[in-house]
Amino acid sequence: MRDASTPDPRDTLDAVGELAALARIIPRLPESAATLLGPGDDAAVLAAADGRYVVTTDMMIHGPDFRTAWSTMHDLGWKAAATNLSDVAAMGARPTALVVALAAPGSTPVPELEAFADGMRDACAALAPGCGVVGGDLSVSSVLTIAVTAFGDLEGRAPVTRSGAGEGDVIAVSGPLGLAAEGLALLFERGVDATGAPDATAAARLRAEHPEPLSAQLAPRPPIADGTLAARAGATAMLDLSDGLALDARRVARASGVGLDLDGALLAAAGPHALTGGEDHSLMATFPAAVAEQGLPGGFVAIGRVVAAPVDAEGRAVPAVLVDGRAVDERGGWDPFAEWSGQAG
């Protein structure tokens, strides 16, 4: 592990055991404002004034999803929280609580697990105040594995799904496009040693030289508050851009039965990874034209318009993503089962 070049052998998971480790980790985790009963029982109890809640889960595994030579444990705690908070925000809900399962090698120094907890705490405080960790599990594995389940309160609103985009709506994005992919490309290009293996020293140097793209990849800052702002403003569809604009926009197009026509000049200005780069965790939403005319909420910026689905040679409507009226290639975007899936942050 990167931050423990000389770990104390008396202070590892193997040495102290699960209960002692948890006794040190749990106090460092953020508390949820929705907690009625927190960690320590068989399950947590949360307040849900709306009577409904949203729930999502995500997993991060050393190798395909991150490299400990590039990410500190604080980074991993932050990213594990941020990526799940973003999925809740994409439904138009306010994040309320997280449940975290962590499996780590027994040789892991406990201070590294404390740093992971600190990263989760700091991400919740910065991105979703009031959201906290209400429980989870700690286990041992030869491969560091992180699984987070996130909950959110709709606050009386209907959820904003992917299927509500309508012809004439404005397409808008809050957050960067392609910045995390730029950071990942830098890591694979210059964050390695002579053999091509991830290198902690090279990564630290890159982070100092290119702080924005490296931070976007290793510790993203999704615009969580803009999810509820979009819902209140009347967003018709929304999702988290975790797999790249082209791939994620296609999901909205297919769910809504429309075409999403993006502005090529705006994409070009955003950089070469704007269309296909994943892991930005920005929010893409569609809004009625009248809402856009009055001013888009939060940090949302218009990048295109919803159009009728293109028609194929046989006269069938084919929901698709377009750039300046021309269909985008089906390929592109983050796919964990694709050939290049080993190139993960």
Known binding-site residue numbers for ATP: 136-137, 162, 242
Q: Are 241 and 102 in contact (CB under 8 A)?
A: no
* Dihedral sign, Cα of residue 79, residue 83, residue 89, residue 93: negative
Other residues' Cβ atoms within 10 Å of the Cβ of residue 137? 12
C-alpha 136/C-alpha 44 separation (Å) is: 9
Annotated binding site for Mg(2+): 42, 56-58, 87, 137, 240, 243
C-alpha 163/C-alpha 161 separation (Å) is: 6
Of the candidates 68, 202, 195, which has an alpha carbon nearest to the alpha carbon of residue 144? 68
φ/ψ of residue 65, rounded to 5: -110, -25
Please give the order of strands across the beta sheet that includes 282-287: 237-241, 282-287, 170-174, 301-308, 258-262, 320-323, 326-327
C-alpha 276/C-alpha 294 separation (Å) is: 30
User: What is the largest distance, in Å, between two alpha-carbon atoms of the chain?
Assistant: 70
C-alpha 64/C-alpha 52 separation (Å) is: 34
Place of tokens 């994040």: 95
Annotated binding site: 42, 56-58, 65, 87, 136-137, 162, 240, 242-243, 279, 334
Q: Which residues of 229-243 are buried (b: 16+ CB within 10 A; e: fewer)?
A: bbbebebbbbbbbbb
Return the half-sphere exposure (C-beta side, CA atoms, 13 A cut-off) of residue 34. 26
Annotated binding site for substrate: 65, 279, 334
Q: Which 3-state string (H, E, C) describes 9-38?
A: CCCEHHHHHHHHHHHHHHHHCCCCCCEEEC
In Å, how far are 41, 93, 101, 125, 224 from 37, measured between CA atoms? 8, 22, 18, 20, 25
